[in-house]
Structure 1
Amino acid sequence: MKSVTLVEETRAGLVENVHTGMITGVNEQLETVYHAGDMAHYTYYRSASKPIQALPVFLTDIIAKYGLTNEEAALFTASHRGESYHIAVLESMLAKLPVREHELYCPASYPLNNEPKEEMLRENKEKRRLYHNCAGKHIGFITVCREMGFPVEGYWEVDHPLQQQILNILSELSEVPKADIHIGMDGCGVPVFAIPLKNMALTYLKLACPDVIKDADLRKAVTQMTSIMNEHPRIIASENFICTTLLEDPNIVAKGGAQGVYCFGLKKERIGFALKVLTGSEDVWPVVVASILEQINYENNETIARLRALKPSIVKNDAGIMVGEIKEKFMLI
């Protein structure tokens, strides 16, 4: 495994933190057009797989059948952060769909964002499965099971028909044979998949440019899903978070996962990118992605500026005094 230094954090000129990793950018011919580090490194998608895991919903007529709004449908792909608007939409979904909260396999949790979490703690509210960031995904899983006649019990097991369908979809989008896809268990208890970083980038190229997908039904499902993600970016994460910031750009399809993995596809440029920060840091995603976009001369400078605002290069202390810097150190080749 060959990695490169992606980001250095310094304080008073002394290196305090170093974030290493790898980046790959591919085109629709699976040709590597940009890279830094090992493009063959097997990487778990973590929550970057949520758009792929949501596709079984979009391959059915569930959204129309149950009268879901696009805002509600966006939650099937989301890592929601527990803001009031997330909870309101989740509650609305549960009122429409043949799902009950206790059926969700994801554990009871507090919201990811500090403000709603602290508010719930002050009000002595208990954890709920609905507050887990994967709740929308699990609601989608159960709904598909009922729609397709699959058993709900064990929907989280790798040999369940739903998880096998997802595995087939991933194999088609990534062009990795099922036998070569490494399978583990994600934080919410469902299967999580690892493939070479290069193929991970290919999946996001296909999400951004679904016209290259051979299967017509899958192509239509991806088109609908990614349009909804761009239409409701704050549902996918929340304000001041990189996924929402990138999805506000209609040219980008993006989703991150735990332990430093991030994926995005560029529609006009027809390139998919995948990156892995080996420290597992999510904090440096905006720095790395902004630098990638700058290095490829991305046209939308507003998107780059919004990313830079999420993680400024100047480090300030609690009194607002500059004490250090955050610098990207990689060059794409």
Structure 2
Amino acid sequence: MRFTPLVEEYRGGVLENVHYGAVSVVDEQGRILYRAGDPEHMTFLRSAAKPFQAIPGMKRRIDRVYGLSPEEAALFAASHRGEDYHIAALESILQKTGVCEDQLYCCMTYPLNEEAKAQRQRAHEPKRRIFHNCSGKHAGLLALSKHMGWDEQTYYLPEHPVQREIIGTMAEFAEVPAASIPLGVDGCGLPIFALPLHKIGLSYLKLACPDLIPDPETRKAAAVIASLMNANPDMIADRKFICSALLKDPNLVAKGGAKGVYGIGLRKERLGISLKVSDGSEQVWPCIIASILERIGYGNPATIDRLYALEPNIIVNDGGTEVGLRRAVFTLES
């Protein structure tokens, strides 16, 4: 693993922490234009895979089959944070599709957001499967299985038709043989796959620019899910998280995953960006992504400003006093 320092954090003028990782920027031919660290680093996509896991359902337009709203359908690609509006939309999905909450293979838990979690606990509510940040994805796969007449009890197994379609979809986007993609088990219990970092970037570029996809059905499905993400950014995470902040820019399609992996597709520039923070930190994503966009001369400063506002480079203590700073220290090499 050839990682390079991406972000340094200082406290009282003393270097306190270094976040290592790798960055890759590719063009529409899949060529690596810029790199920091090893663009061949193999990593699991984790939740960055969700837009691609939604493609089989979008091919069948299950949102239309079940009469879902755009906000509800966007949850198929979401890592929602458990806010009230997320849970209301998920309950509506279950009602419209006829999927039972107990059918979701993800575990019962509380929402990711601390205040949303505390709200449920103050009300003495039990843990629920739809509080899980992956429950929208699970509901979508169950709804597709129901529509196709596939077994609904085993949709999480690698040999299930929906999972076979998903791995085929990922192979199609990344331009690699499906048999070459390492499989694991994600936090929510579904199969998850690993790709070289630059192939993640290529996949996100195709999500942003579906004209690069030869198959017409996949092309249309990619355009649908990407459009849903951009039109409903707060459904993908929440109003204060980086995925939603990036998706407010109509030029970008973006999604992060656990353990520091992130993918971004740029429509106008026709570029794919991917990164991995080796220690799994998500807190430094805004610093890294804002720096990448600055260094490639990205033309929408409002997006960059939004990232810095989300996670300022000034470090404060628990009382709000400025005590240090973080800064991106990597170079994008041609």
Note the C-alpha offset of 1:207.
0.2
After superposition, the CA RMSD in angstroms is 0.8
Partner of 2:152: 152
Matched, 1:331 2:292: no
Partner of 2:72: 72
Letter in 2 for 1:127: K
Note the C-alpha offset of 1:110.
0.3
Partner of 2:236: 236
Partner of 1:278: 278
Note the C-alpha offset of 1:73.
0.4
Query: Tell me, what secondary structure is at the counterpart of 2:7?
Result: strand
Summarize deviations over 1:63-108 as a string: whole Å, max 9, x none: 1121111111000000000001101111111110031100000000
Query: Tell me, what secondary structure is at the counterpart of 1:330?
Result: coil
Match runs of 1:62-211 below 5 Å:
62-211=62-211
Letter in 2 for 1:236: I
Partner of 2:269: 269
Partner of 2:227: 227
Note the C-alpha offset of 1:123.
1.1
CA distance in 2, matches of 1:196, 1:87: 34
Q: TM-score, normalised by structure 1?
A: 0.99
Query: Tell me, what secondary structure is at the counterpart of 2:51?
Result: helix
Summarize deviations over 1:189-234 as a string: whole Å, max 9, x none: 0101001111111000000000010000100011111111100000
Q: TM-score, normalised by structure 2?
A: 0.98
Query: Tell me, what secondary structure is at the counterpart of 2:259?
Result: coil
Partner of 1:301: 301
Letter in 2 for 1:239: R
- Preserved CA contact (<8 Å) 1:107 1:132: yes
CA distance in 2, matches of 1:319, 1:112: 23
CA distance in 2, matches of 1:2, 1:61: 42
What number of residue pairs does the alignment pair up? 333
Percent identity of equivalent pairs: 52
Partner of 1:10: 10
Note the C-alpha offset of 1:146.
1.1
- Preserved CA contact (<8 Å) 1:176 1:195: no
Summarize deviations over 1:279-313 as a string: whole Å, max 9, x none: 10000000000000000010000000000011111
CA distance in 1, matches of 2:316, 2:195: 38
Partner of 1:291: 291
CA distance in 2, matches of 1:150, 1:59: 16
CA distance in 1, matches of 2:179, 2:95: 39
CA distance in 2, matches of 1:75, 1:311: 24
CA distance in 2, matches of 1:217, 1:160: 21
